[in-house]
Amino acid sequence: MSVTIKSNHEIELMREAGRILAIVHDEIEKNIRPGITTYEIDKIGYDVIKSYDCIPSFLDYHGYPASICVSVNDEVVHGIPSKNRIIREGDIVSVDAGVIYKGYHSDAARTHAVGEITPEARRLIDATKQSFFEGIKFAKAGNHLHDISAAIEDYVVAQGYTVVRDLVGHGIGRALHEEPEIPNFRVRRKGIKLVPGMTLAIEPMVNVGRPDVAWLDDEWTVVTHDGSLSAHYENTVLITDGEPEILSYHK
Ligand code: MF3
Ligand code: CO
């Protein structure tokens, strides 16, 4: 399948998917505190998604066993919720969620601080979020896809951090993962030309230490190879005639 351009009607549905997904994230953010388990975070997400008659897109995706990915500290992405995993003061918790509304997907991730965290962890979370916003400054019709990629990496490197290279962002629409792949780092080619109606899930994953990652024996959880902290920030973004529209975001 190639890159899809969404019609106005499809964009309306993706706006609604994104609006609901932002509510899912708000509800999880309100409830994250020391003592909560990652299982309970998943349950909150599942319940909100269902309450809007949406489908949790991650559940059973290639066998993934939950609705939300919850990745703590050195876990980068795809942490599997568990009743045995208790969130503690000082943790940083990356929450990734996806919903399907009337056949259309939205995908977004946030990294939260739990209580008092170290200044370094705070700076990592803020830099990761900002790298997304630096990237989408280039998410405009006529630019090339990898302009976004380069802007993300340049910002992250300037902050003294590294970008994960083994996982990338993606097009999104009727499927969770559509073309194109969206690297969060410079690549040799300039990538496709951006056109209004493209919808992209842009999702920098940023490490304090080395960029290398490893997979745990559960075959899902991605961790930093060196054990350093990692953060993740993602939104579903619409390319327009002017400024990009962030579909999975409010405030
Ligand atoms: N948000 C993730 C991504 O963009 C999807 C999680 S994978 C799943 O690739 F298995 F958990 F669904
Ligand atoms: Co994604």
CA distance 114 to 112: 6
CA distance 37 to 16: 29
For a substitution probing ligand 1, which of 46, 57, 67, 69 has the most ligand atoms within 8 Å of its CB? Answer: 69
Q: Position of tokens 């009607």?
A: 9
pTM of the full predicted structure?
Answer: 0.98
Compute, in angstroms, the gap from residue 181 CA to the centroid of ligand 1: 13
Compute, in angstroms, the gap from residue 9 CA to the centroid of ligand 2: 22
CA 228 and chain centroid, separation: 19
Q: Position of tokens 């946030």?
A: 110
CA distance 15 to 246: 9
Question: Whose CA is closest to atom 8 on ligand 1?
Answer: 58
For residue 220, how many other CB atoms are within 10 A of its CB?
A: 18
Compute, in angstroms, the gap from residue 21 CA to the centroid of ligand 2: 13
CA 198 and chain centroid, separation: 17
CA 69 and chain centroid, separation: 10
**Quick one: which atom of ligand 1 is closest to the CA of 57?**
12
pLDDT of the residue at 251: 64
What's the Cα-to-Cα distance from 57 to each of 89, 184, 187, rounded to whole Å?
A: 30, 23, 29
- Residues within 6 Å of ligand 1 by CB: 58, 61-62, 64, 69, 78, 96, 98, 107, 201, 203
pLDDT profile of the chain (251 residues), mean per 10: 94 98 98 98 98 98 98 98 98 98 98 98 98 98 98 98 98 98 97 98 98 98 98 98 96 64
Please tell me the number of the ligand nearest to residue 202's CA.
Answer: 2
Signed CA dihedral, 19, 97, 48, 54: sign only: positive
**Quick one: which atom of ligand 1 is closest to the CA of 170?**
4
For residue 195, how many other CB atoms are within 10 A of its CB?
A: 11
pLDDT of the residue at 250: 82
CA distance 110 to 32: 12
Given a contact cutoff of 8 angstroms between Cβ atoms, the answer to whether 3 and 173 are in contact is no
pLDDT of the residue at 218: 97
pLDDT of the residue at 76: 99
Going by their DSSP bridges, the two strands 245-246 and 235-238 should be labelled as antiparallel
